[in-house]
Structure 1
Amino acid sequence: MRVLLLEREQARYAELLRSAEPDLELLHDPAQAASCPVWLVQPDLAVPLLRQGLRPAWLQSTWAGITPLLASGLPRDYRLSRAVGIFGQPMAEYLLTYLLAHRRRLLARLASQVERRWDDRAPPSLRGCKLLIVGAGDIGTQVARLLAPFGVELRGIAARPRVIAPFAEVHGLDALAEQAAWADCVLNLLPDTPATRDLYDAALFAGMRADALFVNAGRGSAMVEADLLAALRGGRLAGAVIDVCREEPLPPGHPFWEAPNLLLSGHSAAPTDPAAMAELFLDNLRRYRSGQSLRGEVDFVRGY
């Protein structure tokens, strides 16, 4: 089978795939896209081909987010699957890094050291920390499972209320403000859809606890940047960790660079691991050949 492979790390992908499936014919020239029924591509490299009217029978995205492929004017009459099941551990490690830094007052202690001032304030444990994961899907649930042994109190937000282990409660999106007011830390993992844009606004930040941490590792469109800045500058929010922004890379003059108690992580929260992605693709390839549903198959109407 011919597979169009377009990825910035395509040499590594090619090595992994040829080792597992020597009979695959991997093509790297976009000019050969029309002859490939299957594409394994990162979304931004697929968009120019789709705009030319080309389309595969099935496109496997190497990203969890597939927003570029949903742009106006692009075809939607093909099967699309996004990367799933491979980001839970790196996302949990990311959150754990910044949550521990916040709880242990890492930056404040560094400042104390620079000032040669002894800081012996006792930090709170993660046990009992109230964590709200907004986007209790594949990644959010894996994050919850990995953090549960630390004794964190877990609640989630999903499209609708339902039971999902290990969350104590999972509420619908309409309960976001109420649940955010409960939390010590709010982690946003929502995809970019019309229903998720500008959710984190002045009203929501005003309802959060003044000692709470806000972490956005979903999409930049979910937060009103000016409202987040106002909350931080006014002391109405203890801190924010921002992995994703509306404009990336962040321009030099953006106020986030100098905002108080805000850390930028440069869209690095959960990078795609080629080995895990190749394994997912090969599993989906077997499903595709046998006519089964694909892991991470996208509903174009829902947008994920």
Structure 2
Amino acid sequence: MTFLYKANATRGLEWARHFAARAPELPFRLWPDIGDPAEVRYLAVWSPPENIATTFRNLELVFSVGAGVDQFDFSQLPPHVPLIRMLEPGIAEGMVEYATMAVLALHRDLVHLIAQQRQQIWREIRITPAAKRRVGVMGLGLLGQAVLERLKLFGFPLAGWNRSPRTIEGVTCYAGRETLLDFLAQTDILLCLLPLTDETRGILNMSLFEALPHGAQLVNVGRGGHLVEADLIAALERGLLSSAVLDVAEQEPLPAGHPFWNHPRILLTPHIASMTTPETAVEFVLDTIGRHRRGEILPGRVDRDRGY
């Protein structure tokens, strides 16, 4: 009975140390040293290996080392094997920090000030009080709710939009496609934290940008597939949007020459908004394995029909 890790190799060494300390009875292997594939019962991955079902015939659980699972082809996973999203607290705290940083950067016009610095321009930009800057979050799962809770501290009027209804104190919540336009109309800074599914792919497009207040701002910390990149460039050029903070792209790493690299109204980071913390990730994984052995409900289990 073996646990196999296939993701960032450096963090994998940390996983190995924590496994050795907490579960020395469970053999731990780092990809590509898989040992006997028939012995692999548990698999933790970012980029799934090919032929999972035929290679690892005795799998019992598959873990995503991140909060998202859009990198998986569900048809390649044995239907009886649960797929588990990572729910360790380090992911949420990292996302809260990044989202807060991004919203404040847009709120205080940091993208524009950086552009002025590059042009050696010393010019004031009038401050807008937080109470007059409306922030809307798309995606009200655990990460979205954690981000909204932190943003409350700054006094922004807050709204949230989700596929299914949510009730969050201090947040005006919208649910379903029929409410999306109402949500967008009152959002000055839009933050995307949606899961990437067939339904949400390309949702950040020109029609959505046109529904926002003129000069609104965007933060995308979901997936690159949420954003129609050409539409963002066009929206910035038209003034529909005034600036954007992007942590994800359709192609990663972003290729040389891509217009995002040098755009004066885009702040770009290399998919680092949140990262799994090895120590707490191992705690979550071992707790989940224990629950599975006892036949209990598994937190983070993916509904394959919904895609998350």
Same fold (TM over 0.5): yes
Aligned counterpart, 1:47: 49
Aligned counterpart, 1:98: 102
Aligned counterpart, 1:162: 166
Cα distance between partner residues in 1 of 2:53 and 2:266: 38
Distance of aligned partners of 1:106 and 1:165 in 2 relative to their CA distance in 1, 3 Å threshold: same
Question: Is 1:80–2:83 an aligned residue pair?
Answer: yes
Cα distance between partner residues in 1 of 2:22 and 2:113: 49
Question: Is 1:250–2:254 an aligned residue pair?
Answer: yes
Cα distance between partner residues in 2 of 1:276 and 1:97: 23
Distance of aligned partners of 1:74 and 1:110 in 2 relative to their CA distance in 1, 3 Å threshold: closer
Aligned counterpart, 1:63: 66
Aligned counterpart, 1:240: 244
**By how many angstroms is 1:85 displaced?**
4.7
1:84 counterpart letter in structure 2: L
Question: Is 1:5–2:5 an aligned residue pair?
Answer: yes
Question: Is 1:20–2:8 an aligned residue pair?
Answer: no
- SS of the residue corresponding to residue 194 of structure 1 reads coil
**By how many angstroms is 1:110 displaced?**
4.3
Written as runs of structure 1 = structure 2, the 5 A alignment for 1:278-289 is 278-289=282-293
1:222 counterpart letter in structure 2: H
Aligned counterpart, 1:276: 280
Cα distance between partner residues in 1 of 2:276 and 2:143: 13
Cα distance between partner residues in 1 of 2:303 and 2:117: 52
Cα distance between partner residues in 2 of 1:225 and 1:113: 26
2:2 counterpart letter in structure 1: R
- SS of the residue corresponding to residue 307 of structure 2 reads coil
Contact kept in structure 1, 2:111 and 2:266, CA below 8 Å = no
Give aligned pairs, total: 302
- SS of the residue corresponding to residue 71 of structure 2 reads helix
Instruction: Give the one of 178, 195, 200 matched to 2:182.
Output: 178
Instruction: Give the one of 112, 126, 130 matched to 1:108.
Output: 112
Cα distance between partner residues in 2 of 1:126 and 1:18: 48
**By how many angstroms is 1:115 displaced?**
6.0
Distance of aligned partners of 1:162 and 1:218 in 2 relative to their CA distance in 1, 3 Å threshold: same
Q: Please list every run of 5 or more consecutive structure 2 residues that lacks an aligned counterpart in the other structure.
A: none
Comparing 180-189 and 4-13, the one that deviates more: 4-13
The two structures, once aligned, show a CA RMSD in angstroms of 2.2
Runs of 4+ in 1 over 6 A off after TM superposition: none
**By how many angstroms is 1:112 displaced?**
4.7
Distance of aligned partners of 1:247 and 1:118 in 2 relative to their CA distance in 1, 3 Å threshold: closer
Contact kept in structure 1, 2:139 and 2:194, CA below 8 Å = yes
TM-score, normalised relative to structure 2: 0.89
Distance of aligned partners of 1:167 and 1:275 in 2 relative to their CA distance in 1, 3 Å threshold: farther
**By how many angstroms is 1:31 displaced?**
4.0
Q: Deviations over 1:140-180 (max 9, x none)?
A: 11111122122222211111223134533242243223212
